[in-house]
Amino acid sequence: MSRLTNLTPAKIKKMNMKQLEKLAGEMRELIIQTVSENGGHLASNLGVVELAIALHRAFDSPRDKILWDVGHQCYAHKIITGRGGDFASLRKKDGLSGFPKPEESEHDAFTAGHSSSSISIAHGIATAQRLSGSENCTVCVVGDGAIAGGMAFEAINDCARCDERLIIVLNDNEMSIDRSVGALSRYLTGIRNGTAYFKFKDAVARTMERIPVVGGEIKKVSSDVKDRLRDMLLSDNFFQKMGLVYLGPADGHNIGRMTELFLRAKQLNRPVLIHVNTVKGKGYSFAENSPDTFHGLGQFNIATGTCERNSQDSYSVLMGTELASIAKKDKTVCAVSAAMVAATGLANMPKERLFDVGIAEEHAVSFSAGLAAAGMKPVCALYSTFLQRAYDQINQDVCLAGEHVVLCIDRAGIVGEDGETHQGLFDVGILTPLPNMVIYSPFDGEELKDCLRKAVYSHSGPVAVRYPRGAAVRREEDRRSAGDGYAFYRRGGSGKRLMVTYGRETGRCLKAAEILTGRGSGADVLSIIRIKPIPEETADIAARYGEVLFAEEGMERGGICEEFLAMLVKRGFKGNYMVAAVGDRFVKQATMCETLEQLGLDEMSLAGKFSEKTNET
């Protein structure tokens, strides 16, 4: 695989088909090996290796701009564009990102991390190129799951009437993270499985090949006839009716055929959609058989396909198990997912009350509001990073309307190696200003189950329950005294030092308290479980201490720490108030431990806030 070290688009263009097919195999080996060690998105990247090769054969990156919707399938693109030698650093601190980043390479046309935005961005780039007199192309690769997102439809509606050199490559593998759902998915399956045109085409090709000497020329001349036949057979094609030139469907693992289609699209001075069919997980049997499991994962054993980390005790699974238990007894409880049923732990919900709406967070929230308005108890489970896509719907259709929708916010807080686009650091600042909203942020598994039941049965308006990625903390028997919406841990603070926090950061504060105890001092820990509205009693407790450290695994600006300080001020607090939170920045990829240390949210840093003060006095 040494030739992958310095691979470039120029070298790709000089290779023959046999060399390219061998190269595709080598790239898959490198991707599998690297992801097995670093974690990452596997199945999606294995499915687009030949597609990436064909794109770089036909187009001239970086003059021609290539965008990857979501961006999680850009590994082959990175290897082709000179980053093969650094590929072992994928998703590591200061290493290659798992997503496109222009600061990393001129071949990455735009930062990506969320779904369905690529056509809009590509349309903007293509328009700018036309206005500047450039004849270069703009290409975006969008999956069949992502193209069903509302933003993609908005972009198609706009760009199809324009004259830009915009090429949309529809990567159809019948999957998003879970299997693609909805009417558009069924429509694409119909195109994918249509056989009339392809049987005729193959028969014509075989006949022409049998004609001696001139067969090849006749076959070439007949391409226009075959194209007209295709247009006739696909006359009801949705994309054509929208105004796009439609080419395909084509085998997305046939480098030669795709290259032909891309070169043809380059000749057209108008938006083109090229439909290619790929197999998610191609070339690795475990990923092909379970593309959802191998979509995004941690370290795994290549030989057995087994992941090293067991997710059975994760917060996601715990939430889903508890919700399924509630739903079995209460027929009004239902669950809504935006293409992430398994990932958010909802797989055990009663099927008739489990609604996967596809990659459409806005629709998921408003759909949930409609369910609530009609007497159901909907639980809408979304990752924190994707929740922000539905902010207007949460504001208008849930909070303003006062509907009893439960938002289960998964992956809240720092997520580590996925980096800036996936950190769950903004949901608190987004939700706390909204009237009528109640927010829970439990620490351990028992608190999560308790908060979920309260969210379903103890409230009549909007409620959010946020929880982190990873294994759920188990409750200690003698660990705390509990109040309404908070837990208090005596750890030798003696009315002098108190750490206030919520959610997963509670565990690190408890460890910091142990460190302080070992140094001959100590600090009590106050964990806020209901972070909106903050229980008044928590401020009463904190106001009695001389030093208060608020530790928040979230943004300082707009965070709970600001509101808590205001509550202390109202009580005449005169002590020392310190904050450990994320400043005005995006948090880059690194391991959890590295990120926490960098942000000053690890136990040693938290303990140091007090120990420095102790040394001074």
| C-alpha radius of gyration, the chain, whole number | 27
Give the other-Cβ count within 10 Å of 112's Cβ: 24
How far is Cα of residue 279 from the mean position of the Cα atoms in its chain? 20
For the beta sheet containing 354-356, the strands, ordered from the edge strand earlier in sequence to the opposite edge, are 354-356, 333-337, 377-383, 406-410, 463-466, 438-440, 530-532
Return the ∠ at Cα 55 (arms to 271 and 243), rounded to 5°.
15
The one catalytic residue in 389, 466, 480, 497 is 389
280 is catalytic: yes
- Out of 174, 361, 417, 505, which one is annotated catalytic? 361
Long-range CB contacts (within 8 A, 24+) of 118-121 = 118/67, 118/68, 118/69, 118/70, 118/142, 118/146, 118/152, 119/69, 119/147, 119/151, 119/152, 119/155, 119/156, 119/159, 119/168, 120/151, 120/152, 120/154, 120/155, 121/67
Q: Is there a cis peptide before residue 533, judged by omega within 30 degrees of 0?
A: yes
User: CB-based burial of residue 551 (10 Å sphere; 0-12 exposed, 13-18 middle, 19+ buried)?
Assistant: buried
Joined together, the tokens standing for residue 185 give 């998915």
**38: nearest Cα among 446, 576, 417:** 417
Amino acid at 356: D
**73 CB-side CA count, 13 A:** 33
In whole angstroms, give the CA distance from residue 487 to residue 470.
22
**CB atoms near residue 215 (< 10 Å):** 14
Give me the half-sphere count of Cα atoms (radius 13 Å) on the Cβ side of residue 211: 11
- Distance (Å, rounded) from C-alpha 340 to C-alpha 177? 6
C-alpha to C-alpha distance for 409 and 397, rounded to whole angstroms:
18
The contacts found for 185-188 with CB under 8 angstroms, 24 or more apart, are 185/144, 185/145, 185/148, 185/358, 187/238, 188/144, 188/275
For residues 86 and 7, is the Cβ–Cβ distance under 8 A?
no
The residues, ordered by sequence, that sit 6+ positions from 229 with a Cβ below 8 Å of its Cβ are: 197, 200, 201
563: burial class by Cβ within 10 Å (0-12, 13-18, 19+)? middle
Question: 165, 280, 411, 504: which one is catalytic?
Answer: 280
What is the token pair recorded at 307?
């992941």
Environment class of 341 (CB within 10 Å of its CB; exposed 0-12, middle 13-18, buried 19+): buried
Has 361 been annotated as catalytic? yes
Within 10 angstroms of residue 182's Cβ, the number of other Cβ atoms is 17
Angle, CA of 184, 190 and 196, to the nearest 5° = 150
Does 389 participate in catalysis according to the annotation? yes
Catalytic amino acids? 280, 361, 389
